[in-house]
Chain A
Amino acid sequence: MLNILLKKIIKTGAGRFRYILAMVGLTVALLLILAAVQLQSNYWQLLHGNNAQDSIANFLVINKVVTNQNAGNTNLSEQDIQDLKQQPFIQGVGVVTPSRFKVAASGGSAMPFYTDMFFESVPDQFLDITGADWKWDDHSQFIPIVIPNQFLDMYNFGFAKSQNLPQLSHELVRSIPIRIDIQTPAGQKSFYAKVAGFSDRISSILVPQAFMEWANEHFATEPPKGASRVIIRTDDPSNPKLIQYLDSHQLATDLEKTRFSKYRQIVGFVVQISGFTGLAMFLFALLIFSLFIELTIASCREEIGLLVTLGASPRQLRKFLMKTFYPANMVIALIVLVILSILQWLLSGLLSHESMVVSPFISLYTIAGAVIVLVILWWVHVRTIRRQISGTR
């Protein structure tokens, strides 16, 4: 009953149209701000979600770009490597050690092939093959090796098809011993190797670091060559700073793995524009709200004065004014969250066709953003009303 009477006494009619405009403004502002938050959160989800490709993307093999000027001299100097190690977006740098002896491999009757080849090795922490499979000492029967997946694909879908040879599965390849002949200064030496794993990460044939050091020591026919390739670990291969760094130092890496960088810059740009526009509109909406409240209270100053005279407490009046002005904001926030939920659901469906997985629901950050905006609005309302009411006696 009191509220009905107060509503009759404190008329909110003045400037209604402006108030509605401010409400529309707030809706758009909130939509922009929260959409920016949601977009950013979607992007992080894509980047750090449990997609298989990500574990690969976190390791990059880097080498100098081969140009006509530097052909034959593409080694990375010690200084280059130290510089890489000091970049904040690089968590680890490992030198790729090349073999300094000649190697030939042959497959025997199960996999009839013979090829000259080479070995490389990287420190163990840059590989996800661990345990007994990846151990070597001079008593080991087999040398474990890692071959690129692309090799097997090339064999299965190119070579085997055209030559009428059987296609090989991962399991089969792992079980076949491969004969390795190494040309040493003292003549040819034979070993057997087994494939311990397949890598998408490094387009090279890898052996354990321990074997490489041992073999280089005993069989080397050439002096040490220095590092021509390094492997780095990074928590974010799409970081534009990383790409920028590589470009400016004439370094190259697998572009496929850094393609997110371009997307990320676009997403970042959109998020920033949307966020800043939303923020600016939000500030204007806040201004208009507080002006509207001031206008309403000023136009009813006499009535409010009489209410206080009769015994209405400032607390009662503040409560009434909050009830009059604030709920609209909560409705707006709710509407915006519903709109974003629908958009997110549609986006999730759309992206799943592109085999990109984002949650069909809006993120907790977005909801937290809405709550923060509501708290700010609440604070501005309380402050404006308190100031205006305390000026009335």
Chain B
Amino acid sequence: MRMLPILLLVLVACNAAPNLETRTFALQHLRPEDAATMIEPYVYDQREGAPGRITHTDQVLTVRETRDNLERIAAVLVEYDKPKPWVRLHFQIIEADGARAADPRIADVEAELRKLFRFTGYRLLTEAVMSGTARSDVSQSVGEGDGQFFIEVVIHDVRTVNDTGIVAMQVRLRSLIGLGLGSQINAREGQTVVLGNTQVGEGPRRSTVILTVRPELIRS
């Protein structure tokens, strides 16, 4: 019987509606609808008697919640409302069996390719640099005539995993000699991903073309 008052107190406390406050957050980079989705789990819109609320207009988010939850929401927005990082992508298009003389611009890649394949030599056909942010498409036409290539990249995401920047992207290379090379890759910043295949061209024009891509994060 001694416990009864305490239990009643607990029951009353459980049903008491919390005090809500309203705070407006100015967004610098996030889209309001994305920010609203992001903070939704912190807003108790089904709370009886005192439901939380989110409204948003042009780059402004207004939230009605308890002070504790507003603080959590503020912390989330501080962490994620940042400019999208820029990525610079360095491409090299290399022809296998293209030359016997070493080219210092592809020396690192060539050294590793020679350990893996039996091509007699490697020749740098062309280079390209492209920049973009997450959720952007970039493309570039390089070379001339029959040696013309078209590089297309969809940068899906740029994120940090264990303090290392990782670029999730779809890379495609097309050429007039019938080359179709493409992959969806997650490349670390500074890592050179070498993409190649063996089905290029026909007859005397048959050759193996290799595409390398190295992402570089541009930190402001």
Bound pair (A, B) = no
Interface residues of A (CB under 8 A from B): none
Interface residues of B (CB under 8 A from A): none
